[in-house]
Structure 1
Amino acid sequence: MVSSRVTTQSKKPAPYEIHAEQDPVVPEPLGPIVLKLDPVLRLTGELLLELCSLNDAVRIELNAKQELELLPPANPSSSNQNANISVDLGNWARANGTGLGSDSYAGFTPPNGAVRSPDASWILKERCAEIPDKEKHKFTPIVPDFVVELRSPSDSLRGIQAKLEEYIAHGVRLGWLIDLLDPRHRVYVYRPNAPVEVREGPETLSGDPELPGFVLDLQPVWGPAL
């Protein structure tokens, strides 16, 4: 498979420059169901954690507007692709020893008050050590150093691009958006103060220099759906 790169030309990241309107063959789902809560209810981290526990068949996130975003569970194909990524990241993290890898069950709270659960993430151990013990069993009040988001059939491209922008704006050092719906096998690479890099058809992705030595094998991810 041949990999090519396309980089946006703006001086700062602009993920909306490339979207489904330029490619009519790529489906554009409506995205999550959004429930407005304010001013009727403002969720605390404890209440949101309890709500997620009671509704584990639904993926729940909280955006910066304090609105609930509801997504259906991942289908078997997307779940398998997510598992392949989590396994590769977890194996590297264990061997590297400098940080902790997480799957999509980890929730993080950036400074804007949102609660996000990336499909995979990694955070330096020295930053984890700064989290008070009483906060470690809640949604972590910190952002990862690295995140991965997979675009599945329930995700709009613009919506998930905005989520990557949110991660980077609040301290994530490297973000990968892997578009499972695009037949060109596009990957969007996000870094602070840099244009969004768009790659087509990569067989691997390197995490250097943020994750030294980590190489994600994308062939199982691009493989046939279940």
Structure 2
Amino acid sequence: MEIPTIYLPPVLELKLDLTKEQFWQLCRENDDLRFEQTANGDLIIMPPTGSSTGKINADLIYQLMAWRRQNNLGEVFDSNSGFLLPNGAKRSPDASWIKQERWDALTSEEQIYLAPICPDFLIELMSPTDSLLKTREKMQEYIENGAELGWLINRKQQQVEIYRQGQEVEILDNPNIVLG
């Protein structure tokens, strides 16, 4: 007996009213897929980033971890980490960092699953299937929910967009180094 296969579009958005627990269960039961959910309840099923993007993302995590080990001021998270933002969105930035005192203020149970916190710093690395408009909207959402600093790395246009609290977005063309 042949098992049927369902083919979905690369990015599928569904509107669902999921609790934090239901969202976590959906993620666990479909651990071969990556999910995010907007504050409006749109469920986003995201395709793999691809090998090239994954390689660069691994380097970003490595650099962020090296910085963290030097200053020991907070915790670093990869793209598999999920956060419940104050507006209700469930997001997973490609790389992120949270100040130690904010992380420690969460209960151990809150730290296990979808931590109810917005990262202080985050990086979104555009993959070939990402929409620039939607990724920019996501970056604004992070800032509106408490992120102090965010970098949107757009390899295709060789730009880095820097998002900061209370400031206009700064766009760097083909930078060798980005400081934060």
TM-score (norm 1): 0.73
- Partners of 2:21 and 2:69 lie apart in 1 by 30
- What is the Cα-based RMSD across aligned positions, in Å? 1.3
User: Which residue in the other structure is 1:87 paired with?
Assistant: 62
Instruction: Note the C-alpha offset of 1:180.
Output: 1.9
- Partners of 1:201 and 1:180 lie apart in 2 by 9
Q: Determine whether 1:108 maps to 2:83.
A: yes
Q: Determine whether 1:156 maps to 2:131.
A: yes
* Structure 1 stretches lacking a partner, 5+ long: 1-29, 208-226
Counterpart residue type for residue 43 of structure 1: L
User: Which residue in the other structure is 1:33 paired with?
Assistant: 12
- Residue 62 of structure 2 aligns to a residue in which SS? helix
User: Which residue in the other structure is 1:187 paired with?
Assistant: 160
- Partners of 2:140 and 2:90 lie apart in 1 by 15
Alignment of 1:59-138 (within 5 A): 59-138=34-113
Q: Could you tell me whether the CA contact under 8 Å between 1:31 and 1:156 is conserved in 2? A: no
Percentage of matched positions with identical amino acids: 42
User: Which residue in the other structure is 1:5 paired with?
Assistant: none
Q: Could you tell me whether the CA contact under 8 Å between 2:152 and 2:162 is conserved in 1? A: yes
- Aligned residues between the structures: 172
Instruction: Note the C-alpha offset of 1:165.
Output: 0.1
Q: Deviations over 1:32-77 (max 9, x none)?
A: 321112xxxx212122112112222221001011120111112111
Structure-2 change in CA distance of 1:31 and 1:63 (3 Å): farther
User: Which residue in the other structure is 1:199 paired with?
Assistant: 172
Q: Deviations over 1:83-106 (max 9, x none)?
A: 010000011111210111111011
- Partners of 2:31 and 2:54 lie apart in 1 by 15
List structure 1 runs of 4+ shifted beyond 3 angstroms: none
Q: Could you tell me whether the CA contact under 8 Å between 2:139 and 2:163 is conserved in 1? A: yes
Q: Could you tell me whether the CA contact under 8 Å between 2:97 and 2:119 is conserved in 1? A: yes
Alignment of 1:2-13 (within 5 A): none
- Partners of 1:45 and 1:136 lie apart in 2 by 13
Q: Could you tell me whether the CA contact under 8 Å between 2:96 and 2:121 is conserved in 1? A: yes
Larger strand share, 1 or 2: 2
Higher relative contact order (CA 8 A, sep 6+): 1
Counterpart residue type for residue 19 of structure 2: T
